[in-house]
Structure 1
Amino acid sequence: MREAVQAFVGLGANLGDPGRTLTQALSALATLPRTRLVAHSRLYRSAPVGAGGPDFLNAVAELSTRLTAPELLTALQQLEHAAGRERPYRNAPRTLDLDLLLYGSARIGSAALTVPHPRLRERAFVLLPLRELAPHLVSDADLAAVAGQRIAPLPPTSSPS
Protein backbone atom coordinates (compact mmCIF):
# COMPACT_ATOMS: atom_id res chain seq x y z
CA MET A 1 0.00 0.00 0.00
CA ARG A 2 1.13 3.49 -0.84
CA GLU A 3 2.64 5.60 1.96
CA ALA A 4 0.51 8.48 3.27
CA VAL A 5 1.45 11.99 2.16
CA GLN A 6 0.73 15.26 3.97
CA ALA A 7 -1.31 17.51 1.70
CA PHE A 8 -2.76 20.97 2.21
CA VAL A 9 -5.96 22.10 0.51
CA GLY A 10 -7.21 25.68 0.29
CA LEU A 11 -10.97 26.16 0.60
CA GLY A 12 -12.90 29.20 -0.53
CA ALA A 13 -16.48 30.24 -1.27
CA ASN A 14 -18.30 33.50 -1.90
CA LEU A 15 -21.69 32.50 -3.34
CA GLY A 16 -24.69 31.00 -1.59
CA ASP A 17 -24.02 30.24 2.09
CA PRO A 18 -20.19 30.17 2.19
CA GLY A 19 -19.95 29.22 5.87
CA ARG A 20 -22.21 26.23 5.47
CA THR A 21 -20.51 25.27 2.21
CA LEU A 22 -17.05 25.26 3.80
CA THR A 23 -18.30 23.27 6.81
CA GLN A 24 -19.79 20.69 4.43
CA ALA A 25 -16.62 20.65 2.33
CA LEU A 26 -14.48 19.94 5.40
CA SER A 27 -16.81 17.06 6.29
CA ALA A 28 -16.56 15.77 2.72
CA LEU A 29 -12.75 15.95 2.79
CA ALA A 30 -12.85 13.72 5.89
CA THR A 31 -14.72 11.05 3.91
CA LEU A 32 -12.40 10.85 0.90
CA PRO A 33 -11.06 7.34 0.35
CA ARG A 34 -7.63 6.55 1.78
CA THR A 35 -7.57 10.05 3.29
CA ARG A 36 -7.77 11.47 6.80
CA LEU A 37 -8.58 15.07 7.69
CA VAL A 38 -5.81 15.92 10.15
CA ALA A 39 -6.72 19.53 10.95
CA HIS A 40 -8.20 22.68 9.52
CA SER A 41 -7.71 26.37 10.15
CA ARG A 42 -10.40 28.68 11.37
CA LEU A 43 -12.42 30.56 8.78
CA TYR A 44 -11.24 33.88 7.36
CA ARG A 45 -13.18 36.56 5.51
CA SER A 46 -11.18 38.02 2.62
CA ALA A 47 -11.62 40.42 -0.24
CA PRO A 48 -11.58 38.84 -3.69
CA VAL A 49 -8.10 38.90 -5.26
CA GLY A 50 -8.05 39.55 -8.99
CA ALA A 51 -11.84 39.26 -9.14
CA GLY A 52 -15.07 40.98 -8.24
CA GLY A 53 -18.02 39.78 -6.24
CA PRO A 54 -18.72 39.44 -2.54
CA ASP A 55 -16.09 38.68 0.10
CA PHE A 56 -14.86 35.11 0.35
CA LEU A 57 -14.70 32.82 3.31
CA ASN A 58 -11.49 30.80 3.28
CA ALA A 59 -9.73 28.08 5.24
CA VAL A 60 -6.96 25.54 4.77
CA ALA A 61 -7.23 21.83 5.53
CA GLU A 62 -4.39 19.44 6.27
CA LEU A 63 -4.86 15.92 4.96
CA SER A 64 -2.98 12.68 5.30
CA THR A 65 -3.69 10.81 2.08
CA ARG A 66 -2.69 7.72 0.19
CA LEU A 67 -4.28 9.11 -2.97
CA THR A 68 -1.89 10.23 -5.67
CA ALA A 69 -1.86 13.96 -6.39
CA PRO A 70 -3.92 13.51 -9.60
CA GLU A 71 -6.41 11.29 -7.73
CA LEU A 72 -6.72 13.89 -4.98
CA LEU A 73 -7.22 16.66 -7.55
CA THR A 74 -10.00 14.65 -9.20
CA ALA A 75 -11.67 14.09 -5.82
CA LEU A 76 -11.47 17.83 -5.04
CA GLN A 77 -13.00 18.71 -8.41
CA GLN A 78 -15.84 16.23 -7.78
CA LEU A 79 -16.58 17.94 -4.45
CA GLU A 80 -16.59 21.33 -6.19
CA HIS A 81 -18.99 20.03 -8.83
CA ALA A 82 -21.29 18.53 -6.16
CA ALA A 83 -21.40 21.99 -4.50
CA GLY A 84 -22.55 23.58 -7.76
CA ARG A 85 -19.21 25.01 -8.88
CA GLU A 86 -19.30 26.55 -12.32
CA ARG A 87 -16.34 27.98 -14.23
CA PRO A 88 -17.77 30.66 -16.54
CA TYR A 89 -14.49 32.62 -16.52
CA ARG A 90 -11.20 32.84 -14.64
CA ASN A 91 -11.57 34.00 -11.01
CA ALA A 92 -15.38 34.03 -11.25
CA PRO A 93 -17.32 34.07 -7.96
CA ARG A 94 -17.85 30.50 -6.79
CA THR A 95 -19.90 28.28 -4.56
CA LEU A 96 -16.78 26.27 -3.66
CA ASP A 97 -13.12 26.38 -4.63
CA LEU A 98 -10.75 23.62 -3.51
CA ASP A 99 -7.09 24.11 -4.41
CA LEU A 100 -4.38 21.53 -3.87
CA LEU A 101 -1.72 23.78 -2.35
CA LEU A 102 0.97 21.31 -1.33
CA TYR A 103 1.36 17.56 -1.74
CA GLY A 104 4.21 16.45 0.49
CA SER A 105 7.45 17.78 -0.97
CA ALA A 106 6.30 17.02 -4.53
CA ARG A 107 6.90 19.42 -7.38
CA ILE A 108 4.41 18.74 -10.14
CA GLY A 109 4.06 20.67 -13.36
CA SER A 110 1.54 19.23 -15.76
CA ALA A 111 -1.27 20.62 -17.88
CA ALA A 112 -3.77 19.52 -15.23
CA LEU A 113 -1.90 20.19 -11.97
CA THR A 114 0.83 22.43 -10.60
CA VAL A 115 2.13 21.78 -7.08
CA PRO A 116 3.06 23.75 -5.08
CA HIS A 117 0.10 25.90 -6.13
CA PRO A 118 1.55 28.60 -8.43
CA ARG A 119 -0.01 31.54 -6.54
CA LEU A 120 0.39 30.15 -3.01
CA ARG A 121 2.80 32.90 -1.89
CA GLU A 122 0.70 35.70 -3.45
CA ARG A 123 -2.48 35.21 -1.41
CA ALA A 124 -3.08 36.20 2.19
CA PHE A 125 -6.22 34.03 2.20
CA VAL A 126 -3.95 31.00 1.74
CA LEU A 127 -0.91 32.04 3.77
CA LEU A 128 -2.64 33.08 7.01
CA PRO A 129 -4.68 29.88 7.43
CA LEU A 130 -1.74 27.75 6.25
CA ARG A 131 0.46 29.36 8.90
CA GLU A 132 -2.05 28.29 11.57
CA LEU A 133 -1.54 24.66 10.59
CA ALA A 134 2.11 24.65 9.53
CA PRO A 135 3.98 27.76 10.75
CA HIS A 136 7.26 26.45 9.31
CA LEU A 137 5.82 26.70 5.78
CA VAL A 138 4.97 30.43 5.90
CA SER A 139 7.65 33.00 6.67
CA ASP A 140 7.26 36.53 8.01
CA ALA A 141 8.48 37.73 4.60
CA ASP A 142 5.67 35.75 2.91
CA LEU A 143 3.12 37.52 5.12
CA ALA A 144 4.73 40.93 4.62
CA ALA A 145 4.41 40.48 0.84
CA VAL A 146 0.60 40.14 1.12
CA ALA A 147 0.04 42.61 3.96
CA GLY A 148 -2.04 44.91 1.73
CA GLN A 149 -4.72 42.27 1.12
CA ARG A 150 -7.84 42.62 3.27
CA ILE A 151 -8.40 39.54 5.40
CA ALA A 152 -9.68 38.88 8.92
CA PRO A 153 -10.24 35.73 10.96
CA LEU A 154 -13.83 35.08 11.91
CA PRO A 155 -14.46 34.83 15.63
CA PRO A 156 -15.04 31.20 16.64
CA THR A 157 -18.53 31.97 17.89
CA SER A 158 -19.70 33.97 14.89
CA SER A 159 -22.02 32.61 12.26
CA PRO A 160 -19.94 32.51 9.05
CA SER A 161 -22.19 33.68 6.23
Structure 2
Amino acid sequence: MTRAFIGLGSNLGDSRLAVAQAARRIGALPNTRLVRSSSHYLTPPWGLHEQPAFINSVVEIDTSLDPRALLDELLRIERDAGRVRDGARWGPRALDLDILLYGEDIICAAALRVPHPYLAQRAFVLAPLAEIASECVVPGQGRVADLLARIDAGECRRLESLPETEPSA
Protein backbone atom coordinates (compact mmCIF):
# COMPACT_ATOMS: atom_id res chain seq x y z
CA MET A 1 0.00 0.00 0.00
CA THR A 2 1.15 3.52 -0.78
CA ARG A 3 0.23 6.56 1.31
CA ALA A 4 -1.21 9.28 -0.92
CA PHE A 5 -2.80 12.68 -0.36
CA ILE A 6 -5.61 14.00 -2.53
CA GLY A 7 -6.71 17.63 -2.74
CA LEU A 8 -10.45 18.25 -3.08
CA GLY A 9 -12.11 21.49 -4.13
CA SER A 10 -15.43 22.85 -5.34
CA ASN A 11 -17.06 26.23 -5.87
CA LEU A 12 -20.26 25.39 -7.76
CA GLY A 13 -23.47 24.09 -6.22
CA ASP A 14 -23.40 22.65 -2.71
CA SER A 15 -19.62 22.61 -2.49
CA ARG A 16 -19.37 21.28 1.06
CA LEU A 17 -21.60 18.34 0.21
CA ALA A 18 -19.69 17.70 -3.05
CA VAL A 19 -16.35 17.63 -1.21
CA ALA A 20 -17.72 15.41 1.59
CA GLN A 21 -19.25 12.94 -0.87
CA ALA A 22 -16.04 12.87 -2.94
CA ALA A 23 -14.00 12.06 0.18
CA ARG A 24 -16.31 9.11 0.91
CA ARG A 25 -16.08 7.91 -2.70
CA ILE A 26 -12.28 8.13 -2.64
CA GLY A 27 -12.25 5.99 0.50
CA ALA A 28 -14.43 3.43 -1.26
CA LEU A 29 -12.15 3.04 -4.29
CA PRO A 30 -10.85 -0.48 -4.97
CA ASN A 31 -7.80 -1.44 -2.89
CA THR A 32 -7.97 1.90 -1.08
CA ARG A 33 -8.54 2.91 2.54
CA LEU A 34 -9.37 6.40 3.76
CA VAL A 35 -6.94 7.19 6.59
CA ARG A 36 -8.24 10.65 7.50
CA SER A 37 -9.76 13.83 6.12
CA SER A 38 -8.97 17.43 6.91
CA SER A 39 -11.56 19.99 7.83
CA HIS A 40 -13.20 21.97 5.06
CA TYR A 41 -11.66 25.37 4.34
CA LEU A 42 -13.32 28.37 2.73
CA THR A 43 -10.69 29.81 0.40
CA PRO A 44 -10.48 32.57 -2.18
CA PRO A 45 -10.19 31.53 -5.83
CA TRP A 46 -6.70 31.06 -7.23
CA GLY A 47 -5.70 32.18 -10.70
CA LEU A 48 -9.04 33.51 -11.96
CA HIS A 49 -10.38 35.78 -9.22
CA GLU A 50 -13.84 36.59 -10.65
CA GLN A 51 -15.59 33.47 -9.36
CA PRO A 52 -17.09 32.17 -6.11
CA ALA A 53 -14.91 31.16 -3.16
CA PHE A 54 -13.92 27.50 -2.91
CA ILE A 55 -14.39 24.78 -0.36
CA ASN A 56 -11.13 22.83 -0.10
CA SER A 57 -10.05 19.76 1.83
CA VAL A 58 -7.37 17.07 1.73
CA VAL A 59 -7.75 13.34 2.30
CA GLU A 60 -5.03 10.88 3.21
CA ILE A 61 -5.38 7.39 1.78
CA ASP A 62 -3.56 4.10 1.62
CA THR A 63 -3.92 2.56 -1.82
CA SER A 64 -2.48 -0.18 -3.96
CA LEU A 65 -3.77 1.52 -7.11
CA ASP A 66 -0.88 2.73 -9.23
CA PRO A 67 -0.78 6.51 -9.79
CA ARG A 68 -2.38 6.38 -13.26
CA ALA A 69 -5.20 4.09 -12.09
CA LEU A 70 -5.78 6.38 -9.10
CA LEU A 71 -5.93 9.42 -11.39
CA ASP A 72 -8.43 7.63 -13.67
CA GLU A 73 -10.66 6.86 -10.66
CA LEU A 74 -10.47 10.49 -9.47
CA LEU A 75 -11.40 11.76 -12.94
CA ARG A 76 -14.40 9.41 -12.92
CA ILE A 77 -15.52 10.80 -9.54
CA GLU A 78 -15.17 14.34 -10.95
CA ARG A 79 -17.26 13.47 -14.02
CA ASP A 80 -19.93 11.82 -11.87
CA ALA A 81 -20.12 15.07 -9.85
CA GLY A 82 -20.71 17.10 -13.01
CA ARG A 83 -17.17 18.25 -13.77
CA VAL A 84 -16.60 19.08 -17.41
CA ARG A 85 -12.97 19.45 -18.45
CA ASP A 86 -13.13 21.95 -21.29
CA GLY A 87 -9.51 23.11 -21.20
CA ALA A 88 -10.22 26.25 -19.15
CA ARG A 89 -7.77 26.63 -16.28
CA TRP A 90 -8.46 27.86 -12.78
CA GLY A 91 -12.16 28.47 -13.37
CA PRO A 92 -15.26 27.45 -11.44
CA ARG A 93 -15.83 23.74 -10.99
CA ALA A 94 -18.31 21.37 -9.44
CA LEU A 95 -15.43 19.21 -8.19
CA ASP A 96 -11.66 19.20 -8.57
CA LEU A 97 -9.55 16.27 -7.34
CA ASP A 98 -5.75 16.35 -7.50
CA ILE A 99 -3.12 13.83 -6.46
CA LEU A 100 -0.89 15.98 -4.27
CA LEU A 101 1.52 13.28 -3.08
CA TYR A 102 1.91 9.61 -3.91
CA GLY A 103 4.30 8.10 -1.39
CA GLU A 104 7.73 9.57 -1.97
CA ASP A 105 7.37 9.30 -5.75
CA ILE A 106 8.21 12.06 -8.16
CA ILE A 107 6.16 11.59 -11.32
CA CYS A 108 6.59 13.68 -14.46
CA ALA A 109 4.19 12.30 -17.05
CA ALA A 110 2.11 14.16 -19.62
CA ALA A 111 -1.13 13.71 -17.70
CA LEU A 112 0.23 13.53 -14.14
CA ARG A 113 2.81 15.45 -12.14
CA VAL A 114 3.45 14.49 -8.51
CA PRO A 115 4.10 16.21 -6.19
CA HIS A 116 1.46 18.55 -7.54
CA PRO A 117 3.41 21.31 -9.32
CA TYR A 118 1.78 24.21 -7.43
CA LEU A 119 1.47 22.52 -4.03
CA ALA A 120 4.08 24.73 -2.31
CA GLN A 121 2.41 27.93 -3.58
CA ARG A 122 -1.20 27.22 -2.67
CA ALA A 123 -2.46 28.01 0.81
CA PHE A 124 -5.75 26.27 -0.02
CA VAL A 125 -3.81 23.01 -0.34
CA LEU A 126 -1.18 23.50 2.34
CA ALA A 127 -3.55 24.56 5.14
CA PRO A 128 -5.69 21.39 5.04
CA LEU A 129 -2.65 19.22 4.29
CA ALA A 130 -0.82 20.65 7.32
CA GLU A 131 -3.85 19.94 9.49
CA ILE A 132 -3.52 16.19 8.89
CA ALA A 133 0.16 15.77 7.90
CA SER A 134 2.28 18.74 8.99
CA GLU A 135 5.43 16.61 9.30
CA CYS A 136 5.01 15.00 5.88
CA VAL A 137 7.90 15.76 3.52
CA VAL A 138 7.11 16.89 -0.01
CA PRO A 139 9.85 15.33 -2.17
CA GLY A 140 12.33 17.97 -3.25
CA GLN A 141 10.57 20.78 -1.35
CA GLY A 142 10.53 20.12 2.40
CA ARG A 143 8.12 19.59 5.29
CA VAL A 144 4.51 20.64 4.80
CA ALA A 145 4.58 22.80 7.97
CA ASP A 146 7.64 24.69 6.66
CA LEU A 147 6.07 25.20 3.24
CA LEU A 148 2.91 26.59 4.86
CA ALA A 149 4.97 28.96 7.04
CA ARG A 150 6.49 30.51 3.89
CA ILE A 151 3.19 31.66 2.37
CA ASP A 152 0.23 33.80 3.41
CA ALA A 153 -2.63 31.52 4.41
CA GLY A 154 -4.60 34.25 6.19
CA GLU A 155 -7.55 34.09 3.80
CA CYS A 156 -8.05 30.34 4.29
CA ARG A 157 -10.77 29.91 6.89
CA ARG A 158 -11.28 26.54 8.57
CA LEU A 159 -14.99 25.70 8.80
CA GLU A 160 -16.89 23.86 11.48
CA SER A 161 -17.50 20.18 10.78
CA LEU A 162 -20.59 19.16 8.90
CA PRO A 163 -22.99 16.83 10.69
CA GLU A 164 -22.69 13.25 9.49
CA THR A 165 -25.11 12.52 6.67
CA GLU A 166 -25.88 9.45 4.67
CA PRO A 167 -24.31 9.47 1.19
CA SER A 168 -26.74 10.03 -1.67
CA ALA A 169 -27.60 6.94 -3.67
Q: TM-score, normalised by structure 1?
A: 0.91
Q: Is 1:67 the equivalent of 2:78?
A: no
Please report how far the alpha carbon of residue 141 of structure 1 lies from its aligned counterpart in structure 2 after TM superposition: 3.9
**Structure 1 residue aligned with 2:29:** 32
**Structure 2 residue aligned with 1:91:** 90
**Structure 2 residue aligned with 1:9:** 6
Higher relative contact order (CA 8 A, sep 6+): 1
AA of the residue aligned to 1:94: R
Q: Is 1:153 the equivalent of 2:153?
A: no
Q: Is 1:132 the equivalent of 2:140?
A: no
Unpaired runs of at least 5, structure 2: 137-142, 164-169
Q: How many residues align?
A: 155
Unpaired runs of at least 5, structure 1: none
**Structure 1 outlier segments of 4+, above 6 Å:** none
The 8 Å contact of residues 14 and 57 in structure 1, kept in 2 or not, is answered as: yes
Please report how far the alpha carbon of residue 148 of structure 1 lies from its aligned counterpart in structure 2 after TM superposition: 5.6
Taking the aligned partners of 1:19 and 1:139, their CA distance within structure 2 comes to 24
Q: SS state of the match for residue 136, structure 1?
A: coil
**Structure 2 residue aligned with 1:46:** 43
Please report how far the alpha carbon of residue 150 of structure 1 lies from its aligned counterpart in structure 2 after TM superposition: 1.6
Taking the aligned partners of 1:97 and 1:126, their CA distance within structure 2 comes to 12
Q: SS state of the match for residue 135, structure 2?
A: helix
Percent of aligned positions with the same letter in both sequences?
Answer: 44
Note closer, same or farther for the CA distance 1:109–1:149 as it changes in structure 2 (3 Å cut).
farther
AA of the residue aligned to 2:8: L
Report the RMSD for the aligned CA atoms in angstroms. Answer: 1.5
Taking the aligned partners of 1:140 and 1:11, their CA distance within structure 2 comes to 19
**Structure 2 residue aligned with 1:82:** 80
